[in-house]
Amino acid sequence: MPKIALLTTGGTIAGMSSGDPHRDSEGHSVRGYRAGALSGRDLLEQVGGLEDIADIELEELAGIDSVEMNPGNWVDFAEHMFPYIERPDIDGIVLTHGTDTMAWTAMALAMQLQNPGKPIILTGAMLPPDQALDHVKLHLRASTYLAAHSGIDEVSVCFSGNPESTFTELYHAARVVKYAASAWNAFSNPIEEPLATFKGGKLTRNPKAPQRSEEGLPKLVKGFVPITQVTYVIGASPLPNNGNERGVLLDIPGRVGNNQRVYDYAFCALARGIPVAITGESGEYQNMPTEKELSLLRAGAAFMGRLNPHKAGVKLAWAIAQTRGDIFSTRTLMYKDIAGELAGLQLSPTYVGIRS
């Protein structure tokens, strides 16, 4: 029988109802709950049946609401997971997590746990077990099966694939996003089909999903620094500039070269030795750099095109930690496809090829 490491961190999937029922804005009866109230052992007992799928080795890493997650947690999780990656008796890893920041944690683990050689699957739930036990069971059982049998040796997220929560889909960690606050199928990959579907006990792999590979030894490449992430809104108040930034991620509508305030902010940060990455239309394959964009490129800015800004922010925080803040080394690492995050982006070679 396969052996799976089940690591728990709290979140709604390990929540417990609290307080009296009340009506929400649409008139539905709802109850509050406390995230992370159940221990890993309590969760395992409530779900039941996982031992029919795999031999489970349980470890409780945390018991918190995922809104409290931070880069320190990401490093701690990766450090705890890496020994399981190295153990030949472990076939896969399942990490339970709250949904609010699960997409960020998935990206952070994909950056740190390179060439894992076995599936690493994050899952969570939209309501706690005492309110939606079938939903929780679906996710944990599917994640355990996929970790044991999918052969997709990536960090990924397993979640409901339809509004009724009757089957699950597996999404690439570097591209999955939470697009809905309350739907059963709250996660999706907006740019490609799921890696796999698990429905009615049957696993269907996407033919384009990564194939199991023996190339490359597992690596733990850990560390993050705090960065400033700015989503610029036209007409917004002045951009933040407190002088303490370790890195800056700018998410810009349109072209940065057409926005003087954004250009000035980015150029001043680079002049102070602060790495800058920019998401938006700038950097896309069909675009040529404007004169202002060329000056930012020569100063070391990384233009990341349509890479999801949250994914870009996590990668930037990780990249700066690896390069100790060197602007051009950070840009080189941003342009390296670490975990499939750049697949399908079509970054312009004109932007990527610019050097100081």
* Residue-level pLDDT at 215: 64
Q: Which domains does the chain have, with CATH numbers?
A: 3-220 (3.40.50.1170), 228-352 (3.40.50.40)
Active site residue 178: yes
* Residue-level pLDDT at 231: 80
Question: What tokens were used for 299?
Answer: 């100063």
* Residue-level pLDDT at 229: 87
Alpha carbon distance 210, 120 (integer Å)? 13
* Residue-level pLDDT at 176: 94
* Rg for the chain, CA atoms, rounded: 21
Active-site entry in 9, 12, 105, 123: 12
Active-site entry in 8, 9, 96, 99: 99
Active site residue 12: yes
Phi, psi (deg, nearest 5) at residue 122: -95, 145
Question: Do you know the residue count of the chain?
Answer: 356
Asked if 154 contacts 191 with a C-beta cutoff of 8 angstroms, the reply is no
Tens-level pLDDT at each residue, the chain (356 residues): 999 999 999 999 999 988 666 555 555 556 788 888 899 999 999 999 999 999 999 999 999 999 999 999 999 999 999 999 999 999 999 999 999 999 999 999 999 999 999 999 999 999 999 999 999 999 999 999 999 999 999 999 999 999 999 999 999 999 999 999 889 999 998 888 999 999 999 999 998 887 665 668 999 999 999 998 888 665 555 566 556 779 999 998 777 777 788 888 899 999 999 999 999 877 665 667 788 888 999 999 999 988 999 999 999 999 999 999 999 999 999 999 999 898 877 776 766 666 54
* Residue-level pLDDT at 283: 65
3-state secondary structure the chain: CCEEEEEEEECHHHCEEEEEEEECCCCCEEEEEECCCCCHHHHHHHHCCHHHCCEEEEEEEEEECHHHCCHHHHHHHHHHHHHHHHCCCCCEEEEECCCCCHHHHHHHHHHHEECCCCCEEEECCCCCCCCCHHHHHHHHHHHHHHHHHCCCCCEEEEEECCCCCCCEEEEECCCCEECCCCCCCCEECCCCCCCEEEECCEEEECCCCCCCCCCCCCEECCCCCCCEEEECCCCCCCCCCCCCCCCEEEEECCCHHHCHHHHHHHHHHHHCCCCEEEEECCCECCCCCCHHHHHHHHHCCEECCCCCHHHHHHHHHHHHHHHCCCHHHHHHHHCCCCCCCCCCCCECHHHHCCCC
Contacts of 286 (CB under 8 A, 6+ apart): 348
Active site residue 101: no
Active-site entry in 9, 91, 96, 100: 100
Active site residue 99: yes
Phi, psi (deg, nearest 5) at residue 281: -70, -35
Active-site entry in 8, 101, 168, 178: 178
Asked if 256 contacts 282 with a C-beta cutoff of 8 angstroms, the reply is yes
Residue from 270, 267, 265, 231 nearest 247 by CA: 270
